[in-house]
Amino acid sequence: MINRRNFIKGGAAAWVLLQTPRAAANLLNANMSNKSTANKKVVWIFLRGAVDSLHTVFPVADPNFLAYRKQFVEPIAQDLLSLDKQFSLHPQLSFMHQLYAQKQMSPVVAVASSFRERSHFEAQDHMESGLTQTDHNNGWLARAANAIKGESVAISRSVPIALRHQSIQSQTWYPSTFPEASDDLLSRLSDLYQNDESLNNHLQSLIQQQQNPAMQMNEKRKPNFVYLAERCGELLNNDPNINCAMLELGGWDTHNNQQNRLSRMFSQLDNGLKKMHQALGDTWQDTLVIINTEFGRTVALNGTKGTDHGTASAMFLAGGGLTSPSSRQLSKSTIKGGAVLGKWPGLAKEQLFEARDLKPTSDVRYWTLEALKSHLSLSTAQAKLIFPDMV
């Protein structure tokens, strides 16, 4: 049951935040103790709905692939974007392919979380928590920000599980179509909250940050993912205090008409990443982008030209930091761009998970943590704070 006071507290704070977009930045005043990570950025793009990795990173060299997917592959076979002799990208992921060629992006095949059910909501919560047992108030991205004494923001109307943590207060930002709150309203709210220390402190923090230009963005139309990704890039580029950000893109549950639907979804994802890249400017060189989904789809197509809930999928690691000199000097295990990572399990019937799904060969958290360790120069103790059971 939701605690009434916490509900009112969260609702009031979120209302003020949406009404005063300039007040959304710098809720924390943490001192960055690790100077090497002071300007490092991590962006997590969570693809809600379970992406079909076989229609994203095509295993063109697998002898069993066309037996399952000929209907989907033939119409676009000539337009596939080659990665290496074994894999190709979907044609709508042209910017991601460009990053791959520049060694600033690497896909990872056959990954999954430790969750093995096929419920979207439970799998998403588990992915956001990043723990063996899901904790709805303890998210992996918040733990990452806390590990480096950084700040975090969700491009969202509310704080997602990934950015919840008892030791860090994550910000949220979302473009508002409402007029900015007047000084009179803020004064009245101050009077209203004066006897509630928590609410009053939160409000005063917001008021103090009204002059931050990074958050002065209003939008009169319904924002789409491309717009939000661009604004996220601008925010990270303009605010040196924010290290971690989360974006999400839903709509990947393709039980029917998958070919056309995924083409549109990939276009949004690719264009959004391109706009973020442009908005980040030179900050891109200090940015790590992690893109993944809650689980994959079935290998075989269903009767409505789609796929059903599966197990393993693919993830992507991107950013200028993948090839920066500072990253290369960290360790021999540093993840570099321009390579297809992960172990391919094969698509023969005996190689499938439960005779129907792509089999997972590695944990999403392993690759996420390896990328974070390289990018943020994490110590073993810091890494253990993020994914305790992976260290």
Query: What 3-state DSSP class applies to 155?
Result: strand
Is the pLDDT reported for residue 187 higher than 80?
no
Query: Looking at per-residue confidence, does 265 or 186 come out higher?
Result: 265
3-state secondary structure of 284: helix
The mean per-residue pLDDT over the stretch 159-165 comes to: 97
Least confident of 123-127, 148-152, 180-184, 253-257: 180-184
Give the pLDDT confidence score for residue 332 in this predicted structure: 43
Q: Where are the beta strands (DSSP E) in 151-256?
A: 151-155, 164-165, 168-169, 171-173, 242-250
Q: How many CB atoms lie within 10 A of CB 62?
A: 20
Position 167 confidence tier, pLDDT thresholds 50, 70, 90: confident
pTM: 0.82
Q: What is the pLDDT of residue 57?
A: 98
Residues 214-221: what's their mean pLDDT? 55
Q: At what angle do helices 225-238 and 258-280 cross, to 10 degrees?
A: 20
Query: Long-range contacts made by residues 199-205, C-beta under 8 angstroms, separation at least 24?
Result: 199/9, 199/12, 199/13, 202/9, 202/13, 202/27, 203/13, 203/16, 205/26, 205/27
State the number of CA atoms in the 13 A half-sphere of 243 facing the CB: 28
Mean pLDDT to the nearest integer, 224-231: 97
Q: Quick one: tokens of 115?
A: 């969750």
Give the three-state DSSP class for 118. coil
Q: What is the pLDDT of residue 329?
A: 37
Percent of the chain with pLDDT over 90: 71
Between CA 299 and CA 344 the distance in angstroms is: 14
Mean pLDDT of 382-389: 96
Tens-digit pLDDT profile for residues 235-252: 999 999 999 999 999 999
Residue 207 makes CB contacts below 8 A (sequence gap 6+) with 20, 23, 186, 190
Residue 105, H or E segment: strand 105-112
The pLDDT tens digits of the residues spanning 287-345 come to 999 999 999 999 999 999 999 999 999 999 999 978 654 433 334 456 889 999 999 99
pLDDT score at 175:
85
Contact 299, 311 (CB under 8 A): no
Tokens linked to 385:
């704070």
Give me the pLDDT at residue 18, please.
39
**One-letter amino acid of 201:** N
pLDDT tens, residue by residue, 33-71: 344 566 899 999 999 999 999 999 999 999 999 999 999
